[in-house]
Chain A
Amino acid sequence: MPAGLWTKCPRCANLVYRRELERNLRVCPRCGYHHRLSAADRLALVLDRGSFEEADQGLVPEDPLGFTDEKPYPARVEEAQRRTGQPEAVITGTGTVEGARAVVGAMEFGFMGGSLGSVVGEKIARSAERAHAHRLPFVLFVASGGARMQEGTLSLLQMAKTSVALGRLADAGIAFISVLCDPTTGGVAASFAFQGDVILAEPGALIGFAGPRVIEQTIRQKLPEGFQTAEFLLEHGLVDGIVPRADLRAALARLLRLTNAPCDPLLAGLPAQGWATDERTEADEQPTA
C-alpha cells in the first residue's frame, strides 16, 4: 500500500482515502472526526475566494532570552517555518464571508503548537486595532497549546497585550468572534479565546486551561470520557455553539450579519448615517440633489 494515499482516523481507526478526507473538509466520512486544519486551509474554507488580504506577514520572532533546550529557539523557529511554510503561528488579515467583510485570523497549530509568543500577540493586537480603525468585526480561529515557553514571561504578558487591544475594541462597540479549534488550552484559552462576544467551537475540540495529564496528576484519578471536549464545554455553558465544519462558513456569515447590521444610530450615539458610513468625510454626507 503506497504510503500517504490512505490515512488512519485516530478516532474510529478506519483507513480513509486521503483524497476523500480532503474533499470532506478533513472530516472523517466514517465517524465525523474533525482532523486538524492548517491556518491557510481554514481561511480558504471560510473566506470568499480571493477576498483575503494578508497583513503583517513580515513579523518574525526574536530570541529575547537566548533560550536553548535541546535546540536553540531560533533553530526551532526555522524548523517550524520550513515545515508549515508560515513565518509564525498565526495568519491575519481581512476578508469576506458570504460578502460580509471582517478582520480575520487563523492560528497554525503546526507551528510550535500554535504557541503564543511576541509575534502572535502582536499580530492579534494589530488585528484588533485594524478592526477598530475600519469598524469591522474580528473573527479569530484559535488552535494553540498556550503560551510559548521559549519567550518566557514575555509570552505570558502577550495575554495582557491582546487583552488591552480587545478591551479597546469592545469599548468601541465592535464584535469579536472566536472559534475554538482543536486544541485550545493554557494561556491562549485563558485570554483571547474566551474573550469572544460569541464563542464557537469545532466538534470534538479539546478546550481547557490545564492539560488533561496535569489534572490527572493533581486529582490522582482518570478523567471521564469526553472531559474538556467542545461538547463538554457546551453542556457547562462555556461556549455558544458547536459548528460542524461543513456549516462553519454559513454560521459565521450569519453571525457577521447579526453583529454588524446597522443599529439604531441614536442608541449607539453615532451620526445619523450609522457606522457603516464611518469612513466617509462630512462632505460625502452633504445632500447632492
Chain B
Amino acid sequence: MSSRPPDLTGPAPSDPSERDLADVEREIGELRRITTAQRLDLAEQISALELRAEGLREEIARHPSPWQRVQLARHAERPKVDDYIAGLTSEFAELHGDRAFGDDPAIIAGLGLIDGRPAALIGHAKGRDTRENIARRFGMPNPEGYRKALRVMALAEKLHAPVVTLIDTPGAFPGKEAEERGQSEAIARALLKMARLRTPIITVITGEGGSGGALAVGMGDVLLMLEHAVYSVISPEGCAAILWRDASRAKEAAEALRLTAPDLVELGIADEIIPEPPGGAHRHRDDAVAAVAAAVRRRLAAYEGRSEESLVAGRYEKYRRIGRIRDVAAGGDSEAQAT
C-alpha cells in the first residue's frame, strides 16, 4: 500500500549523472540568489548552467535507474488523465458521484466517443498545481471514487461499450473516513466487477501504479505501460520504511521491487511498453498523449467482434496465470509458473 504524497526531493542522489545534476542545480540556485541579492547580471552563466542541467536530465531520462523512473513517473508536468481523455475522444461527458455518498474528485469517469464509438473512460486525477492536487487528494481515491468507477463500468457493460482505464495514483487514500466508508470493500467489489465484466477493458499505467489503489481500476484485458511508468505493491518509501525502518533507502527499495515497465513485461504482468518522447512524457506532452491514444485504439480494434464469453474467459486466463510457484509434491523440485 503506497500512501504518501509524492516526495519530489527524494534521498541523496548516488548515480554520477544525478549527482552532477544536483551540483549544477545547486550552482544555478546560488547564482540566482547572488543575482537578486547583489544585483549582478549573471544571466549568461545561468543559462549556460541551465543548458548543462538540461543535458543531464535528458541523459538520465535516456537511461533511468528504477528510482529515477519513479521520479519520472511522478513528474508534476506529466500529462494528466484529462489530457489523455481529450486525446482519445471526440466528445466526453464526465459522470459524477457514487449515488450513495458523494463524488470523489480523485477519479474522473465518464462516457466518450472514440472514433465515433462509445466507450467508458476512467482514471485517477492528479492536479496540475498544489491547490488542484489538494482538491483531488493527489489522485488518491476514497471509496466513493471506486464505487463511481464500478458504476460507470456497469454502464459500459450495459451499452456494450469498452472501458479504458488510465492509472496514475500513489495509492488509495489512507484516511479515517475512507476506512469508515469501507475502502477495502470498495476496492474488493471493483476487482470482482472487473473480473466478470462482459466488455473489453484496456488499462494504461501512465504514471504511478500505486498498489491496490491502482489495481482497483486496473484489471484490464491488456495492461499497457508508458515507458517510465511504474507499478508496485508498495511505494519504495513505504517498503524501505517497513523493511529497513528507513524511508530514505527508497532508492534501494525501488531496485528490489522490480517495478519498472521492462521488469513487469518480464514478470508477465504488463503486455506492452508505450515509448515516451525523448526526455520523458513531460517534455513533449502532446506526443506522449498521441502515443497512448494510438496504442489504445490499436488494442480496442483487436477486441472488435469478440464474444463476451471469450472475453471473460480470456481475462480469467490472463490473471489466473500470474505468479511464480513450485510444487514439491508433484514432480519433486520442478520449477513452473502457476497454471
Contacts and interface: CB of A to CB of B under 8 A. Distances in A.
A214 B192 CA distance: 26
Interface residues of A, number: 67
A146 interface: yes
A152 B257 contact: yes
A209 B320 contact: no
B315 A154 contact: no
Interface in B180-215: 180-185, 187-189, 191-192, 194-196, 211-212, 215
B323 A121 contact: yes
B183 A62 contact: no
B188 A195 contact: yes
Interface string A143-170: 0001111011111111111011111101
A238 B328 contact: no
A157 B184 contact: no
Interface residues of B, number: 58
B105 to A, nearest CB: 17
Contact of A118 (B188, B219, B330, B338): B338
B323 A209 contact: no
A235 B248 CA distance: 39
Interface string B216-239: 100100000000000111100001
Given A65-B257, A65-B258, A209-B212, A214 B323 contact: no
Given A118-B338, A171-B196, A209 B184 contact: yes
B174 A218 contact: yes
B187 A157 contact: no
Given A152-B257, A160-B191, A209 B172 contact: yes
A69 interface: yes
A209 B239 contact: no
A99 B277 CA distance: 64
Nearest to B146: A190
A153 B212 contact: no
A157 B3 contact: no
A208 interface: yes
B264 interface: yes
B258 A153 contact: yes
A227 B175 CA distance: 12
B257 A153 contact: yes
B117 interface: no
A210 B233 contact: no
A155 B233 contact: yes
Nearest to B173: A218
Interface of B: 1, 3, 172-176, 178-185, 187-189, 191-192, 194-196, 211-212, 215-216, 219, 231-234, 239, 242-244, 256-259, 264, 267, 269, 315-316, 319-320, 322-330, 335, 338
5 contacts: A59-B329, A61-B325, A163-B192, A195-B192, A209-B178
Which 3 pairs show the lowest CB-CB distances between chains A and B?
A58-B329, A118-B323, A210-B174
